[in-house]
């Protein structure tokens, strides 16, 4: 292994660049009066199919009508072969080299005046790139490699793969978007625009300083989208992202001590500087050339990618010559970290003071809490503010709010876009009737919320329980704090009784050891704290008692929380609810809502219903339909290599008449895999659990399935692999074909709705009111357009009190149940009020939300598996298949470990939690 450590001369001047980008500029301000839009006739008055009688208000969207577009789009596949001097390379595969190749291509004859764009694998153009039809197979293109050498491609082979007629389906919107974004980047250089990804561009001057090394920049998302009834729309939305500032790596390390800050917030700790891996840096001192034809100080050679940040082997013994003086590397800086710009096998170590981070690189890791607050403050804008930004800057940068620039787009791109945001008609669904008492007396719902401060009794029969309180803090409580804890205990017990729960009477909770204290370690990890916690909780539970435990935490700490939940859920089968100490004993104010919320959680963890949604059973044919939800959560940025993804499936229990008890199944699977591998097996588990609770031991006849977390590009894959797997699982256990209705729940989209002055708006903060539903004009094309989409709609089910509300997007891919569109919309809206811990409508339907929460609980369990993950070694090879096999092996190894599943010796137990929780919704 070749290792070298490099640093500039002690007397050399480091060439810090990008001074303008490093300035601490304030964000751009909006014009005093944003340009107003003329009113237009609303669209879609008769386009939708559902809730025609309820369509009573207008909303403004962030969509623009594409009134003209090219008739034809040509698509070429490009294969790049390096020149003779690159004999060691088998292909031009590195993204930076490809960018250099296509930059050179743009300067060649025939390309300079053509309208074309590329994703570095394909090229799209609105006219043939070679009018005579003679497509070259060995085009020579000059470019620079990552090592700084100048090359000419031995063969750039273009193959015309498709000629798209834009009145056909499916439309090649990917190519159209690439052409639009290339036009923005080329024509808006005077506005200092930076493109990120395929659909986002950021205004370099509209930024906000997060700290000395990070900045937030406002940008705009744009995407041409096909819609129902043919035609195209342009979706434009504001966005914001954190970017690296062009400081030295040493400066960044000084101001971003990720490990310490992550430990404070309970995230998995990154080693110092690991959030810099993959970041581009420039070597900022002059180096001597190794070869006569190679200048190591040119851009292509000075810019490198950080492979790792750490301590070189035997660093105390490594020395280097700097200005004719021998120095020890450890003396160069108090940071004592070096940066590897070579490979894993051939390392080239540089001192962090010699490297400057290139500007406008997105920061993709998790921000620390203080920085997150700054980011939210910059990005979170009220609806009218977002509209003003779109009008004042977004449309300007796109070049469509001025007739002169529009004419350029018309002539060059053959595109014409109406600069007025569409106004469309919408329906508004009324909230369902909510009741708590057995007499079904409904309570008032306003702005999708209701008040539980009054002693509403939870419905159903409640077993007698014993309440215990565990206080986890660094120091034992003094007399005053003990008195407050005792008062809190008694007040909470009274609240439980007031809500109809039976709590065993305790004469003196302190003397009877119903309140206990466990010291919190100064430095802790989940597995070590769990060992200390196990005997302590075991002694409090006792024998033969139905115990519930309220755990009071001194502060938020994910490791401590994970240890509590892993021990209680997986080993002891103990029902626990956690709250913060400051909330529990705060002086003054009304603790009623807090106590009622805690009571809600204990209530459904005892298997009792919380509230009832009247009329939902009638809509669903209760005894015949099982409602299910599924989600996958992936390892957070900075997790250990190979950390598995977590998949979960939840389903309403057969004996749950109130739609508030969704029990689940969980699996680990290969990291970053979105398709659920064992969705069939988990579906069988849920079907068998349903039948076990059925009085007649019958199977459900219908399945209403909500799948969370799927992007539009994955619809076909999910249809082939998950929808068919669910139907096959149902047939295997029941012997009959499944009547499945499968709905994807989308949240990560850029569609926004804005209220229009004079329209009825029962909400707050200028957002559209809860219950607004849109199923026409801007929705995705249906199955007739070549996809599996049968029906889709946007639903604003919650009251957005901060920023601009984001509606959930529901897409039906299967409907063997033959649910009418209006009925599916009403059922989905009602299910948004079925989330047991909340006294409000949530942003998307409860089955998908519950699956997300179960995945989150699984992530807590994984925190106990860090030692297992750390002993998994490395992939045997470097191919994609080698990586895939290794990740699958890691997931299987963790799933079989006692840290994940304490009952792994029992082959029948596939879920990690205690059998006591198999029929309980314990995870929220």
Give mean pLDDT, residues 597-623: 82
Q: Report residue 784's pLDDT band, with 50, 70 and 90 as the boundaries.
A: low
Neighbours of 831 (CB within 10 A): 29
Q: Is the pLDDT of residue 470 over 70?
A: yes
Comparison of pLDDT for 27 and 262, the residue scoring more: 27
Residue 689 and residue 667 in contact, taking contact as beta carbons nearer than 8 Å: no
Start-to-end CA distance of the chain, whole Å, equals 51
Q: How many residues does the chain have?
A: 924
Neighbours of 665 (CB within 10 A): 23
Residue 453, CA distances (Å) to 127, 456, 595, 754 in order: 67, 8, 9, 32
Q: Is the pLDDT of residue 543 over 50?
A: no
Burial of 14 (0-12, 13-18, 19+ CB in 10 A): middle
**What's the mean pLDDT when you consider all of the chain?**
83
Radius of gyration of the chain from its Cα atoms, rounded to whole angstroms? 30
Strands (E), 775-887: 791-796, 808-815
Cα 566 to Cα 914: distance, rounded to the nearest angstrom: 10
Cα 409 to Cα 414: distance, rounded to the nearest angstrom: 7
Q: What is the pLDDT, as a whole number, of residue 314?
A: 46
Q: Which of 6-15, 483-492, 623-632 has the highest mean pLDDT?
A: 623-632
**Using the 8-state DSSP alphabet, how is residue 763 labeled?**
S
List pLDDT tens digits, range 256-279.
865 444 434 334 445 678 889 999
Neighbours of 229 (CB within 10 A): 11
Token reading at 779: 């929705």
Residue 162 and residue 92 in contact, taking contact as beta carbons nearer than 8 Å: no
DSSP helix/strand/coil, 492: helix
Of 2-16, 17-31, 823-837, minimum mean pLDDT range: 2-16
| Nearest by Cα to 622 from 698, 689, 700 | 700
**907 contact partners, CB below 8 Å, separation of at least 6:** none
Cα 281 to Cα 355: distance, rounded to the nearest angstrom: 6
Neighbours of 385 (CB within 10 A): 16
Q: Report residue 825's pLDDT band, with 50, 70 and 90 as the boundaries.
A: very high
Q: What percent of the chain has pLDDT over 70?
A: 81
Burial of 685 (0-12, 13-18, 19+ CB in 10 A): buried
Of 34-48, 806-820, 862-876, minimum mean pLDDT range: 34-48
Token reading at 72: 């034809």
Query: How much is the pTM?
Result: 0.91
Strands 280-283 and 355-357: antiparallel
Give mean pLDDT, residues 488-500: 90
**670 contact partners, CB below 8 Å, separation of at least 6:** 644, 645, 677, 884, 887, 888, 891
List pLDDT tens digits, range 138-196.
788 887 666 556 777 767 888 889 898 877 766 788 999 999 999 888 886 556 899 99
Q: How many CA atoms lie within 13 A of 432 on its CB side?
A: 27
Q: At what angle do helices 558-565 and 526-541 cross, to 10 degrees?
A: 50
Q: What is the pLDDT, as a whole number, of residue 429?
A: 95
Q: What is the pLDDT, as a whole number, of residue 511?
A: 46
| Nearest by Cα to 923 from 825, 850, 818 | 850
Q: Is the pLDDT of residue 12 over 60?
A: no
Q: Is the pLDDT of residue 14 over 70?
A: no
Of 150-164, 331-345, 571-585, 793-807, minimum mean pLDDT range: 331-345
Q: Is the pLDDT of residue 617 over 90?
A: no
Q: Report residue 95's pLDDT band, with 50, 70 and 90 as the boundaries.
A: confident
List pLDDT tens digits, range 884-915.
999 999 999 999 999 999 987 677 789 999 99
Token reading at 178: 């690439």
Neighbours of 411 (CB within 10 A): 11
Residue 770 and residue 798 in contact, taking contact as beta carbons nearer than 8 Å: yes
List pLDDT tens digits, range 633-642.
999 877 888 9
Residue 559, CA distances (Å) to 372, 526, 564, 890, 913 in order: 20, 4, 9, 22, 18
Q: Report residue 308's pLDDT band, with 50, 70 and 90 as the boundaries.
A: confident
| Nearest by Cα to 189 from 173, 175, 206, 201 | 201
**331 contact partners, CB below 8 Å, separation of at least 6:** none
Neighbours of 133 (CB within 10 A): 7
Q: What is the pLDDT, as a whole number, of residue 520?
A: 60
Comparison of pLDDT for 309 and 292, the residue scoring more: 309
Q: What is the pLDDT, as a whole number, of residue 890?
A: 96
Q: What is the pLDDT, as a whole number, of residue 321?
A: 36
Task: Report DSSP letters for 233-283, one per residue.
Answer: EEEEEEEEEEEE-S-BHHHHHHH--HHHHHHHHTPPPPPTTGGGTT-EEEE
Q: What is the pLDDT, as a whole number, of residue 455?
A: 64
The enclosing H or E element of 692 equals: helix 679-693
Question: What is the maximum span of the chain, computed from C-alpha positions, in angstroms?
Answer: 96
**414 contact partners, CB below 8 Å, separation of at least 6:** 68, 69, 70, 71, 115, 126
For residue 170, whether the previous peptide bond is cis, meaning omega lies within 30 degrees of 0, is: yes
Q: What is the pLDDT, as a whole number, of residue 481?
A: 82
CA angle 252, 253, 255 (to 5 degrees): 65
Q: Report residue 773's pLDDT band, with 50, 70 and 90 as the boundaries.
A: very high
Q: Is the pLDDT of residue 426 over 90?
A: yes
Q: What is the pLDDT, as a whole number, of residue 19?
A: 59
Cα 281 to Cα 271: distance, rounded to the nearest angstrom: 19
List pLDDT tens digits, range 655-705.
888 888 899 999 999 999 999 999 999 999 999 999 999 999 999 999 999
Comparison of pLDDT for 85 and 60, the residue scoring more: 60
Token reading at 304: 């490198």
């Amino acid at each position: 292994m070749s290792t070298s450590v490099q640093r500039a001369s002690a007397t050399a001047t480091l060439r810090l660049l990008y001074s303008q980008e490093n300035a601490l500029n304030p964000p751009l301000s909006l014009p005093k009066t944003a340009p107003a839009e003329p009113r237009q006739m609303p669209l879609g008055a008769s386009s939708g199919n559902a809730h025609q009688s309820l369509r009573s208000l207008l909303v403004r969207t962030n969509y623009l009508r594409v009134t003209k577009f090219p008739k034809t789009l040509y698509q070429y596949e490009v294969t790049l072969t390096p020149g003779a001097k690159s004999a060691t390379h088998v292909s031009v595969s590195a993204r930076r080299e490809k960018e250099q190749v296509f930059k050179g291509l743009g300067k060649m004859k025939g390309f300079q005046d053509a309208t074309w764009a590329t994703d570095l694998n394909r090229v799209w153009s609105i006219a043939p790139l070679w009018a005579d039809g003679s497509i070259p197979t060995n085009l020579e293109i000059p470019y620079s490699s990552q090592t700084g050498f100048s090359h000419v491609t031995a063969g750039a082979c273009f193959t015309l793969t498709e000629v798209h007629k834009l009145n056909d389906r499916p439309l090649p919107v990917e190519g159209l978007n690439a052409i639009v974004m290339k036009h923005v980047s080329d024509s808006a250089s005077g506005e200092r625009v930076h493109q990120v990804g395929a659909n986002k561009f950021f205004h370099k001057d509209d930024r906000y300083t997060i700290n000395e090394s990070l900045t937030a920049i406002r940008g705009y998302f744009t995407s041409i989208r096909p819609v129902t009834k043919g035609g195209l729309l342009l979706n434009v939305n504001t966005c914001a992202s954190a970017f690296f500032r062009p400081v030295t790596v040493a400066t960044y390390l000084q101001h971003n001590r990720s490990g310490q800050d992550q430990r404070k917030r309970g995230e998995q700790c990154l080693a110092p500087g690991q959030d810099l891996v993959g970041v581009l840096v420039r070597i900022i001192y002059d180096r001597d050339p190794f070869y006569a034809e190679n200048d190591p100080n040119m851009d292509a050679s000075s810019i490198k990618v950080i492979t790792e940040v750490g301590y070189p082997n035997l660093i105390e013994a490594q020395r280097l010559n700097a200005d004719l003086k021998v120095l020890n590397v450890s003396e160069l800086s108090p940071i004592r970290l070096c940066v590897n710009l070579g490979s894993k096998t051939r390392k080239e170590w540089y001192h962090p003071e010699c490297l400057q981070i290139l500007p406008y690189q997105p920061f993709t890791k998790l921000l620390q809490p203080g920085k997150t607050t700054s980011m939210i403050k910059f990005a979170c804008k009220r609806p009218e503010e977002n509209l003003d930004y779109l009008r004042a800057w977004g449309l300007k940068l796109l070049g469509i709010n001025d007739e002169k620039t529009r004419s350029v787009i018309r002539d060059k791109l053959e595109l014409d876009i109406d600069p007025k945001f569409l106004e469309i008609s919408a329906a508004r669904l009324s909230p369902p009737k909510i009741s708590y008492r057995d007499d079904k007396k409904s309570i008032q719902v306003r702005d999708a919320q209701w008040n539980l401060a009054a002693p509403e009794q939870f419905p159903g029969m409640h077993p007698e329980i014993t309440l215990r309180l565990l206080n986890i803090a660094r120091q034992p409580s003094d007399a005053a704090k003990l008195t407050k804890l005792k008062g809190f205990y008694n007040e909470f017990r009274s609240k439980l009784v007031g809500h109809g729960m039976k709590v065993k009477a305790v004469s003196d909770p302190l003397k009877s050891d119903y309140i206990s204290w466990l010291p919190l370690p100064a430095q802790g990890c989940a597995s070590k704290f769990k060992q200390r916690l196990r005997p302590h909780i075991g002694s409090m539970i006792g024998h033969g008692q139905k115990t519930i435990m309220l755990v009071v935490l001194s502060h938020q700490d994910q490791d401590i929380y994970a240890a509590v939940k892993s021990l209680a859920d997986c080993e002891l089968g103990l029902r626990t609810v956690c709250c913060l100490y400051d909330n529990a004993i705060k002086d003054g104010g009304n603790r009623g809502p807090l106590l009622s919320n805690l009571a809600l959680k204990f209530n459904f963890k005892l298997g009792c219903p919380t509230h009832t949604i009247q009329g939902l059973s009638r809509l669903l044919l209760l005894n015949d339909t099982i409602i299910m939800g599924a989600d996958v959560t992936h390892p957070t940025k900075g997790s250990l290599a190979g950390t598995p993804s977590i998949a979960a499936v939840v389903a309403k229990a057969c004996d749950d008449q109130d739609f508030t008890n969704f029990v689940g199944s969980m699996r680990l699977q290969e990291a970053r895999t979105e398709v659920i591998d064992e969705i069939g097996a988990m579906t069988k588990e849920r079907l068998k659990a349903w039948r076990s609770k059925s009085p007649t031991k019958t199977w459900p006849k219908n399945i209403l399935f909500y799948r969370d977390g799927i992007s539009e590009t994955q619809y076909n894959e999910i249809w082939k692999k998950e929808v068919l797997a669910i139907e096959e699982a149902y047939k295997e256990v029941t012997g009959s074909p499944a009547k499945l209705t499968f709905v994807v729940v989308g949240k990560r989209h850029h569609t926004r709705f804005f209220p229009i002055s004079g329209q009825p708006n029962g909400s707050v903060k200028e957002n559209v009111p809860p219950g607004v539903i849109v199923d026409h004009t801007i929705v995705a094309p249906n199955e007739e357009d070549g996809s599996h989409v049968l029906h889709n709609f946007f639903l604003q089910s919650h009251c957005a009190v901060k920023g601009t509300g984001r509606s959930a997007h529901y897409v039906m891919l299967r409907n063997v149940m033959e649910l009418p569109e209006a009925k599916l919309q009403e059922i989905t809206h009602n299910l948004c009020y079925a989330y047991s811990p909340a006294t409000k409508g949530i942003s998307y339907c409860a089955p998908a939300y519950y699956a997300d929460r179960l995945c989150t609980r699984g992530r807590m369990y994984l925190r106990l598996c860090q030692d297992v993950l750390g002993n998994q070694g490395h992939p045997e090879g470097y191919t994609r298949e080698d990586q895939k096999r290794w990740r699958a092996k890691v997931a299987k190894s963790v799933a079989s470990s006692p840290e994940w599943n304490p009952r792994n010796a029992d082959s029948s137990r596939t879920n990690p939690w205690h059998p006591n929780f198999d029929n309980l919704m314990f995870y929220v």
